[in-house]
Amino acid sequence: MNAPQSPAQTQVSPARIRVFDTTLRDGEQSPGCSMTPPQKLVMARALAELGADVIETGFPASSQSDREAMALIGRELRTPVLAVLSRCLRADVDISLQALEAAQRPRLHVFLSTSPLHREHKLRMSRQQVLDMAVESIAYAKRFIDDIEFSTEDGTRTEEDFLHEVVAAAIAAGATTINIPDTVGFTTPEEIRGLFRRLITQVPGAGNVVFSAHCHNDLGLAVANTLAAIEGGARQVECTINGIGERAGNCALEEIVMALKVRGAFFEADTGIDTRRLVPTSQLLQRLVGMHVQRNKAVVGANAFAHESGIHQHGMLRHRGTYEIMRPQDVGWPDTQMVLGRHSGRAAVEQRLRALGYYLEEGELDLVFTDFKALCEQQRVVTDADLQALMQDTGDAEGYRLASMTVSDRGQRALATVELSDPDGNRVLESAEGDGPVDALFAALSAATGVQLALESYRVHSVGLGADARGEASLSVRHGETEYEGTGTSRDIIEASALAWLDVANRLLRQRRVAPAGEQLATA
């Protein structure tokens, strides 16, 4: 009798799922999300760094802009497969092939509607005409390019017998990838899982091609349907950053990737995506197209790793796994965010105060927590600035204060002069040059305080309307191995930037001054 195998002996290697990113094509078709060729190049670089296997750059036959974008991207990016979309028309195929000339690894992606609704009302074609058109286009393109993907537009609403016939004909004509789109987000996980299983097991030649899923989110099922397609045998997923796309959008890349990462043992599948690049890539797209994700968006939303409930915060402080199934650092966030509000408990307030450099005795903490609870009755969220104001009321030294500043731009170099009062009330005056007003300002502040900060990101926006409008600056900086966030508000945006920088510097100086032994920060 054979001995039972150990788990290590029976472990199945995860299937490698190709990520086909269509942010620059299907995503850009989302109203208000169009990009210029240089913007597309910037985004394509980020997608390549992220590890996308295939980047669909556009629809060359539809615009000169898409042709220019493909040329720019093709000349620079050599590792990922670069694809363009084309209708099953010889003229479109010719334009697309010409656009792909600069690509090191080109793919032609041809599509044709197959559902009865599309055949009757959009194409006005019979089944046989659709079949002939698909085969003719694929066979023609195969004379010039090896990597051809064929998509059955509205495939999930196509009669299954005809879908089998079209897919078999496309494979015989030379297609190497077969995509079955859920074009209007109509299907369900059970339906699409079964559809892929039947196609892969029943269609002649299916074992020689890669099957792909392209799911839309009209019923909020794009990610669930894509996961089900993987269970059915799909080995390529088509998705976009932040889930942008027509109508309700596409399957969100960050969500499908992390679902496979976190539940890898269940799905027995994974991707080649560098998940630490997910948040930076998401934020880059938001800046490029001006479409921000909702705060509660999975993985990349501002609240994805934020906790306000006192019960949740207490659990998180004891063990991260109580309320988080993935680490924020693994997707590109610096850390978990403990949001302070009326639901927060004493432990969370103490933890945040320590992060700001305040180490309080039991009695002092009781007083501050009482004031904190009173403040929560007046506003929804208590910020770091609010906590610092509470500490000022207890007589704690605030740190460096901005007395005055001047910034002048002298062409190639800018000059900034700052006057600060230090924690002891002494006057400190320093000047510095920089590549721009903000760079010079931060250099002068560094010279005045002795704190060295490496700027990671910097954002400014308006708060309020009309005469009450103020500028708010927020920045992310690195000191040693730790990243810090700072904010500042003023009617002058440059002054707001200085206050944001001092917000971080004062926090670091307090930590150096009062942190218990073993908790001192390393100096820059």
- Binding residues, by number, are 26, 214, 216, 250
Both tokens assigned to 280: 């930076």
The HSE-up count of residue 142 (CA atoms within 13 Å, CB side) is 16
| Other CB atoms within 10 Å distance of the CB of residue 344 | 25
Both tokens assigned to 444: 């002068």
CA angle 280-281-287, nearest 5°? 90
Binding-site residue ranges for Mn(2+)? 26, 214, 216, 250
**Spatial contact of 210 and 176, defined as CB atoms under 8 Å apart:** yes
Report, in angstroms and rounded to the nearest whole number, the Rg of the chain calculated over CA atoms: 28
Q: Which residues contact 361 (CB under 8 A, 6 or more apart)?
A: none
Return the sign of the alpha-carbon dihedral for residues 373, 377, 382, 385: negative
**Nearest residue to 340 via CA among 326, 355, 329:** 355
Rounded-to-integer distance, Cα 24 and Cα 71, Å = 14
First and final C-alpha spacing in the chain: 66
Rounded-to-integer distance, Cα 209 and Cα 107, Å = 14
Rounded-to-integer distance, Cα 332 and Cα 326, Å = 11
**Nearest residue to 117 via CA among 167, 161, 157:** 157
Strand, helix or coil for residue 13: coil
Both tokens assigned to 27: 């995503």
CB neighbour burial string for 205-233, b if at least 16 within 10 angstroms, e if fewer: ebeebbbbbbbbbbeebbbbbbbbbbbbb
Element (H, E) at 363: helix 362-376
- Name residue 238's beta-bridge partners: 20, 214
| Cβ-based burial of 428 (10 A; exposed 0-12, middle 13-18, buried ≥19) | middle
CA angle 487-446-459, nearest 5°? 30
Q: Which residues contact 249 (CB under 8 A, 6 or more apart)?
A: 27, 30, 216, 217, 222, 240, 242, 243
**Spatial contact of 403 and 498, defined as CB atoms under 8 Å apart:** no
| Cβ-based burial of 321 (10 A; exposed 0-12, middle 13-18, buried ≥19) | exposed
**Spatial contact of 225 and 187, defined as CB atoms under 8 Å apart:** yes
Rounded-to-integer distance, Cα 195 and Cα 292, Å = 35
